[in-house]
Structure 1
Amino acid sequence: MNSSMDLSEHTAAASSAIGIRPAYFVQQSNGSFRPTTSAAASWSDGVLSGQAIAGLAASTLERKYGAVGYLPARLTLDLLKPARAVATHTQTRLVRHGHRMRTAECDIIQDDWIVARATVLQYRQAQCAVDEPWETAMSVVAPDSAENLHVDDDGTGWSPMGLRHHNRGRKRAYYGGLDAVAGLPATPFVRSAVVAEAAANLVTDLGANGIGYINGDLTVALARLPRGVYIGVQADTHFSENGVSVGSATLFDDDGAFGSSMVTAMANPAARMEVSGRG
């Protein structure tokens, strides 16, 4: 870990002492964001997790461009290079501001390099009559509690994530994530981005030998915002060939399914991840 992470640890500890909940980043007086230890990736030292980056991008876009009456229906995140435990900046731009649709972008920048780029698409909500739609049948019982990420293997029952989940069963995950920025409680939209990034690649690519793929993107599509703190992610599809995989998953809460997520990923055999646990 470098000195910037040491500083962020000190800042996070100070935030905790005054009652601020754990978060992936702490905003500094100059507008930059310092990552906390909670933002660290589990697969490499000095690297930030995708869920931390997703949370920062979603939080930034929503705070700057979110509007009453508009639903953030899609967030697309491209993870362009590994984000490190250093000072992080955001840069945004409004692409379209229409009556029915709004689009904006956010770059996540470290040392003058764009490490990730996110796009949010918002639709104006309306009460209107539509024909009875076709719907996917889905029946999942969520765990009673999930302080940490819980996983279910094709109906075997929920338990904290660990090596027991190295099998070929279809996976479901249940998680709440952390706040993206200290002092800014995660909104339903931010929580959707955080949980989808934390779990979509996990449930679609986790097999008997761990996770052999690393995702380079995330797409989250929402028909409504989630209700409650915890969000479930159920794997729907997984296809792979020649070192490339694509996986899709359904997002659900206690009231049922409300959206979907998709990740594309590259084979990563030299650094295959074992899921021994995640906070």
Structure 2
Amino acid sequence: MSARPFHFTQTEHDTFVPSGYAQSHWGADHLNGPALVGLAARALETSFGDPEFLPSRLTVDLFKAARGVPTLTKLALVRDGRRVRNAECELVQDGVTVVRATLVQYRLSEPPRGTEWVSSTEFEAPSARDETRGIGIGSDEAGWSGAIADHQNASRKRFLTRTIDVVDGHRNTPFVRAVVAAEGTSLVTNLGTAGVGYINGDLTVALARLPRDEWIGVQADSHWAVDGISVGSSTLFDGSGAIGTGMVTAVSNPGAQIDFRNDPFPDRTR
């Protein structure tokens, strides 16, 4: 077992057992989003990745609560085209599919002629990074700190993360790092004055390129909420600038709302 933190241990070719790091704040035996999307992303890239293609879009549907039990990965190559490749992954627990992910890869090529509009958004990272914990949380109202509870306010949120390994003994690839970090779109868009009361049912990550370093920033771009339904988007950054977009849809879950000032699972906050 590695000395580095990880979400899963691989016990067979297609079977993975969650660690304590994979547990979420939503319940005593409920896996967190970064662990699940990371496992799906890793499985798809391992089986179908190609250096001549960019994994440009991953959409992950979180069908139901995943638990701390052995998790099976089921993979399928849907289309193997010259310029576009499509593949799917299911995460199965006790014979039930709890997650389904779809990956779209585009062949790398020369850009077209001309100049296009590019968003001018910027990410101002903290002056110092917590190398031990590998995470920092920020908001317009409170600046940067290491505690989510400091940012239970109604201002714009952002965070900086160095993701933990998805599978024990295997360093995350740039693609997996981007996907795991992008799941934080739910946090930076849905964290309010009373904590997080929306649980996301999906994640879409769209990448123009892969991150070039380990630390990835996620900054809220939009958040719309009506009648208990929330939609949030973010921009992802590495040290060279913006690399892509994260988007989540979420449903109100007030019965299990996570108030980080009164955290029921404080040992799960890294």
Cα distance, 1:148 vs structure 2: 3.6
Residues 242-262 of structure 1, C-alpha deviation per residue, up to 9 Å, x if partnerless? 111100110011111110000
State the match for 1:61 in structure 2.
Answer: 44
Q: How does 1:80-95 map to 2 (within 5 A)?
A: 80-95=63-78
Tell whether the 8 Å contact from 2:14 to 2:74 is kept in structure 1 after alignment. Answer: no
State the match for 1:166 in structure 2.
Answer: 152
Tell me the SS of whatever aligns to 1:82.
coil
Q: Can you give the 5+ residue segments of structure 1 that lack an aligned partner in the other structure? A: 1-14
State the match for 2:10 in structure 1.
Answer: 27
Of residues 215-224 and 30-39 in structure 1, the stretch that sits farther from structure 2 once superposed is 30-39
Q: Can you give the 5+ residue segments of structure 2 that lack an aligned partner in the other structure? A: none
Q: How does 1:247-266 map to 2 (within 5 A)?
A: 247-266=232-251
| CA–CA separation in structure 1 for the residues paired with 2:253 and 2:96 | 24
> Which of these residues, 73, 76, 83, is aligned with residue 56 of structure 2?
73
Tell whether the 8 Å contact from 1:26 to 1:35 is kept in structure 2 after alignment. Answer: yes
| CA–CA separation in structure 1 for the residues paired with 2:68 and 2:134 | 23
TM-score for the superposition, normalised by structure 1: 0.90
| CA–CA separation in structure 1 for the residues paired with 2:53 and 2:12 | 31
Cα distance, 1:162 vs structure 2: 2.8
> Which of these residues, 217, 220, 228, is aligned with residue 213 of structure 2?
228
Closer/same/farther in 2, CA of residues 219 and 49 from structure 1, 3 Å limit: same
Is residue 111 of structure 1 aligned with residue 94 of structure 2?
A: yes
Cα distance, 1:272 vs structure 2: 1.1
| CA–CA separation in structure 2 for the residues paired with 1:149 and 1:258 | 19
Cα distance, 1:30 vs structure 2: 6.0
Aligned-pair Cα RMSD in Å: 1.4
| CA–CA separation in structure 2 for the residues paired with 1:194 and 1:213 | 19
Is residue 204 of structure 1 aligned with residue 165 of structure 2?
A: no
| CA–CA separation in structure 2 for the residues paired with 1:128 and 1:137 | 20
Tell whether the 8 Å contact from 2:142 to 2:151 is kept in structure 1 after alignment. Answer: no
State the match for 2:167 in structure 1.
Answer: 181
Matched residue type, 2:251: M
| CA–CA separation in structure 2 for the residues paired with 1:129 and 1:86 | 48
Cα distance, 1:132 vs structure 2: 1.2
> Which of these residues, 242, 245, 249, is aligned with residue 227 of structure 2?
242
Identity of aligned residues (%): 46
TM-score for the superposition, normalised by structure 2: 0.93
Residues 223-243 of structure 1, C-alpha deviation per residue, up to 9 Å, x if partnerless? 000111111111011111111
Residues 145-164 of structure 1, C-alpha deviation per residue, up to 9 Å, x if partnerless? 14343111126421113322
Tell whether the 8 Å contact from 1:142 to 1:254 is kept in structure 2 after alignment. Answer: no
Cα distance, 1:49 vs structure 2: 0.6
| CA–CA separation in structure 2 for the residues paired with 1:272 and 1:114 | 25
State the match for 1:154 in structure 2.
Answer: 140
| CA–CA separation in structure 1 for the residues paired with 2:32 and 2:110 | 38
Tell whether the 8 Å contact from 2:224 to 2:230 is kept in structure 1 after alignment. Answer: yes
Alignment: residue pair count: 261
Matched residue type, 1:103: N
Tell me the SS of whatever aligns to 1:28.
strand
Tell whether the 8 Å contact from 1:149 to 1:161 is kept in structure 2 after alignment. Answer: no
| CA–CA separation in structure 2 for the residues paired with 1:31 and 1:137 | 42
Cα distance, 1:140 vs structure 2: 2.0
